[in-house]
A and B are shown apart, each in its own frame.
Chain A
């Protein structure tokens, strides 16, 4: 353990957090509305729309079924176009976000599905518009479940970020792979893996705790 450069590891940790947090936030900015649309346009729901639902569902299913590693490679040209390079922390945010959007959308859809249909019925009976039902009833009722889902998504995206390290992304994943695995530095491999495990654990616990605290 003596040979470990801790400032190097710290930098990797910061890079990982930067990538994962920014990607998660961006994925929710796009995935939350997408999940809402998926949920309400489904058959028998508030704003049933077969065409919209089917198109979105197919897109989400296809992008979700592509293994993330392949997704990373496929997106290299797009990343170059947006960031100017396909290597490094910033460049990794692009495929991470893109890969996370469908996952977030499905998670949001599942959370909204848990909401008791009676509350929507009550809102409509009051004379609420569809927008009012979604913002005033559906989403507020789903908040605890959405928080729990976001913790799970955070962990998934963290896993992806480690994978991204293999093909030129930064962060702890890259350190584990390039220094720990390729250069046989077992101690670095162990330390980075341990840190990743701890982040996962904290993320999950925190998500559960907050969800439990806000649930009434």
Chain B
């Protein structure tokens, strides 16, 4: 393969599979006190993927995603969209670029005084879509998001999940290449969250729209993202495949997100027993493995905590189990988990160190 130079990417000649490239992006908010919201952020987002950006509140996620459609200007660095530097765009050029990037928000941001149809129409008007096409597009969008019967409803008559569907229809109506989602499911309950995530996944697969999704919840990333960046204090702490991050979080920030101790997630049993963190990525049902271990090997492990959920009927999540005090039995359990193909790692109480035992 030929090597790719920075220049090639700038020219857009190799940009085909890279839709966004951030190059040393720094954002400083000048004010009473200076806030460095983004600190030398570099990353690439591939065309057609679902890319997650996760971090604690105040980490800089919103600022990061807002640089992608230049709702926020960067202080230093470059933002390339399809090989084109967005940071230099002005006025009409910038507005035109924004029309190819849809965005949805935590607060939905619909026109409350307009019905569903008119909300979608507002986006079509801005994108200069010919009037005679509006009707057809609106019908098609409402079908995609499953709201055909709400065409003339006002936002106040819709549930949170339905409002987000309208927002998705509006974002999708102008045929964007990317949809940016800023905490799009954070105001929704888990069941509705799963439905909205399913819809985004469907849009990603069927319409080939790149999705960039911001969240503070690991479960959202687990459910639909291909790759993820962990943002901490304005920096990218870690980036890569979701599975890899989940199984082997390297940075402190990623660890905090993967072991959500603040959510009552109990890592250690307090009695000095060996503990194992098991990760279910959907390929293995969670309950049977503990039962099968007991039935076939006669080894009983105790579940200290579990944080699993079912997305589209598949179990995702993690579980902390304490091994029997007998070392041989403990090893049998570990071998069994490995054999069953469950990702996991042993966690030791004393050093609070985690030792991955599987890739």
Listed in ascending order, the chain A residues whose CB lies under 8 Å from chain B are: 116, 118-119, 121-129, 132, 136-137, 140-141, 143-144, 214-216
Contact = CB atoms under 8 A, between A and B. Distances in A.
Select the residue from B105, B155, B167 with max chain A CB neighbours within 10 A: B105
B159 to A, nearest CB: 16
Nearest to B123: A126
A116 to B, nearest CB: 7
Contacts of B108: 118
A141 B113 contact: yes
Nearest to A137: B111
A216 B156 contact: yes
A140 to B, nearest CB: 5
Interface in B316-357: none
Interface of B: 69, 71, 95-99, 101-103, 105, 107-114, 122-123, 125-127, 154-156, 167, 174, 180
Contact of B109 (A119, A127, A132, A214): A119
Contacts of A216: 112-114, 154-156
A85 B118 CA distance: 50
A128 B92 CA distance: 10
Contacts of B167: 122
A216 B114 CA distance: 8
A62 B189 CA distance: 51
A141 B112 contact: yes
A144 B113 CA distance: 9
B109 A140 contact: no
9 contacts: A118-B105, A119-B111, A121-B109, A123-B126, A126-B174, A127-B96, A132-B126, A136-B125, A136-B126
A125 B126 contact: no
B113 A127 contact: no
A129 B128 CA distance: 12
B99 A127 contact: yes
A124 B107 CA distance: 15
B75 to A, nearest CB: 18
Contacts of B101: 125
A104 B222 CA distance: 53
Contact of A127 (B110, B127, B156): B127
Contacts of B69: 125
B99 A126 contact: yes
A5 B111 CA distance: 53
B294 to A, nearest CB: 52
A124 B99 contact: no
Contact of A125 (B96, B98, B114): B98
Nearest to B92: A129
A120 to B, nearest CB: 9
A121 B97 CA distance: 16
Given A121-B71, A121-B109, A123-B122, 17 more contacts: A116-B107, A119-B112, A122-B110, A123-B126, A125-B102, A125-B180, A126-B98, A126-B99, A126-B127, A127-B126, A132-B125, A137-B111, A140-B111, A214-B113, A216-B112, A216-B114, A216-B154
Contact of A143 (B102, B113, B155): B113
Given A127-B98, A137-B111, A140-B111, A122 B103 contact: yes
A125 B111 contact: no
A183 to B, nearest CB: 51
Select the residue from A119, A122, A129, A216 with max chain B CB neighbours within 10 A: A122
Nearest to B167: A122
A128 B94 CA distance: 10
A141 B109 CA distance: 11
Contacts of B95: 127-129
A137 B111 CA distance: 7
A122 B109 contact: yes
Given A116-B107, A127-B99, A140 B126 contact: no
A122 B125 contact: no
Complex A-B, nearest 3 residue pairs according to Cβ-Cβ distance, in ascending order: A127-B98, A122-B109, A118-B109
A128 B71 CA distance: 12
Given A122-B105, A136-B125, A141 B111 contact: yes
A53 to B, nearest CB: 18
Contacts of A125: 69, 71, 98, 101-103, 180
Nearest to B124: A126
B108 to A, nearest CB: 8
Contacts of B154: 216
